Chains A and B, each alone.
Chain A
Amino acid sequence: MRNWQRAMALMAILLASLSWQHPARADAPPDYAFVSYDEGLRRAAKESKPMFVYFGRYGCAWCDWTNRETFSNAELRKLYTDHYVLVYVDAESGKRLTLPNGERITEAELGARFHAFATPLFVYLDAQGKEIFKAPGFKTVDDFKEFDHYVADGHYKTQKLMEYLGSKK
């Protein structure tokens, strides 16, 4: 390896290290069309699409890690943008939402109802807002592709997630 290539590689490692020590605020990943939960419910019903709900927390390192390592993947971004109504929820926020039954709650209260005990938490809902499954913690691009097959191809209607994933091995 030439000297300049070695220097560039070292610089990249150093930058990655520094960025880890100063993780960005864990907001929704950029370039995804996330909407609020109540808006997501309306769109999902109107477009007959399932929902992908991302519960994050301000300062959550694993959310930031997932954003940079997984959601930065262009293929995944297109897949999820095409297949889902995308919703982001700040699990500590007082932002107000109105549910279909007329009840008003906050994003933090929504986190309590979905038992968002750890972040990130990813929840898949059908077009009527019924929960399909929840996936807590860091996930890879391949994880999300598997989840997408399970939901988008309708396997969830006949199999539990673990049964489906087991049958793929």
Chain B
Amino acid sequence: MMARMWCGAFMGLCLTTGAAAAPWSFEAPLDVTATHGERVFHHLEAAGRKSIAARGGTVAVVWEDNRDGAPRCYFASKTTAAAQFAREIRLSGADECYEPALAALDGERFVAVWEEAGRVRARIVAGDSVGDPIVLGEHESAQASVGADGDVVYATWAEKDGRFARITLARLTVDKTKLTIVRRAFPDSATAKDDQAYPTLAPARSGAVVVAWEDRRNGHTFITQTFSADGTQFAPVKQVNETRNAAVPTTSLRSRNLGRGPGAMRVALARQDDQRLAMVWLDKRDFLSGYDVYAAFSSDGGRSFGKNQKVQDSFGDNIAQWHPAVAAHGDQVIAVWDDDRDNTADLWLSWPEGAGWSDDMKFAGASGPGVQSHPGIALDEAGDVHVVWLDKADLDGPTHLRYARGHRQ
């Protein structure tokens, strides 16, 4: 935090110092897929921004693009040391596909979820083999996310339940490439009073799971979470983003500015170990400068999350941040997002440092001219960071899907 104060006084020197202190050194970026063109648009839109996963020396990415004229979902992987992505597999079938998400399993296997024909589906990708897809959603469903820790696999999504979308969770079992639903549950047992959306989750090897989502039950969008030791019984939901001080009268100017509460959306969650988790989201409590990236940590396995922390440094305070994602492994936590403080959208990285967050860092290939946005991020067992993002020459132009690996220093 002292570094931030120092940066504020000596702006020119700050970037150099921040970069020198970076725990990761990035390789030159590369394309995830060779498929791109004038009217081809890739999307990285997974709930919880779980578009990339790395484990056991393999890194994989899922995305959607319209190369054949309709939105389809794809998977590509490579060994972490390889110079290019080697395998590319179409995940989805004949119908339009949206918002694929991914988690890594043991044995170079991955589980992917996506929305197709209005239902959430899932399948296993294991090396060159692909399991049969299964349907997770019983009704109209979307915004799927998936997580795994050892053999424990959960998926979550938003499913229509009467008038509103309600967060649904499923425990899954994996037998080689066969995926089976063990049971479904509603993390919030109360009937939805308004839409619940964009869930994400973090399972533990014990069978426990933490689920977080954005919720509109109070007349504004807020971030909420719950914990379950076994995926069947859930703790009462808790709001994570700090909002109005109860002492502030609702007729005050503050209340008029914020309404029932500030906007908050697109939560992402990562597990460090059995007890520690990190969460980030977009937060509009400072309503004049757009969304900021905020974070909260849990040290009790996800039963509760602590005081909110602003992630981006003061150079990003007066502009909006977008698309935050977070990765964690052991003592390491790293957040990424995009913002256009340098005139065009760049990726920015930050990690916990002292009592707060580091100065923001950008890296070559994911910054500079053009638009670099919509990042996903993963940490592997070695502490290397893997980042995927969209790259385009101008805001309305076609996209490239780019990837870079950052070596732990």
Contacts and interface: CB of A to CB of B under 8 A. Distances in A.
A117 B219 contact: no
Interface residues of B, number: 40
A97 interface: no
Interface string A129-159: 0000000000000000000000000000000
Interface string B264-287: 011000000000000000001001
B49 to A, nearest CB: 13
Residue from B218, B220, B288 having most chain A Cβ neighbours under 10 A: B220
Interface string B202-221: 00000000000010101111
Given A17-B251, A20-B250, A112-B320, A59 B259 contact: yes
A59 B260 contact: yes
Contact of A61 (B45, B142, B257, B322): B257
Contacts of B251: 17, 20-21
A59 B24 CA distance: 40
Contact of A117 (B255, B259, B290): B290
B256 interface: yes
A11 to B, nearest CB: 18
Contacts of B289: 117-118
B39 interface: yes
A61 B71 contact: no
Contacts of B143: 94
A119 B220 CA distance: 13
Interface of B is mostly: loop
Chain A, interface size category, equals 20 to 34
A108 B143 CA distance: 14
Given A101-B396, A104-B41, A62 B220 contact: no
Interface in B238-267: 250-251, 255-261, 263, 265-266
B66 interface: yes
A25 B257 CA distance: 14
Contacts of B288: 117-118
A113 interface: yes
Given A20-B250, A94-B198, A58 B256 contact: no
B43 interface: yes
B198 to A, nearest CB: 7
A61 B43 contact: no
A23 interface: yes
A58 B251 CA distance: 19
A80 interface: no
Nearest to A25: B219
Given A20-B251, A21-B250, A58-B220, A26 B322 contact: no
B395 interface: yes
Contacts of B41: 102-104
A92 B257 CA distance: 17
B73 interface: no
A23 B251 CA distance: 11
B157 to A, nearest CB: 12
Interface in A30-72: 57-65
Contacts of B265: 92, 108
Interface string B333-359: 000000000000000000000000000
Interface in B154-190: none
Contacts of A20: 250-251, 256
A60 B234 CA distance: 31
Interface of A: 17, 20-21, 23, 25-26, 57-65, 91-92, 94, 96, 99, 101-104, 106, 108, 112-113, 115-119
Given A61-B259, A62-B257, A118-B289, 6 more contacts: A21-B251, A59-B220, A60-B263, A102-B39, A104-B71, A112-B320
6 contacts: A21-B250, A23-B260, A60-B259, A60-B263, A61-B260, A63-B259
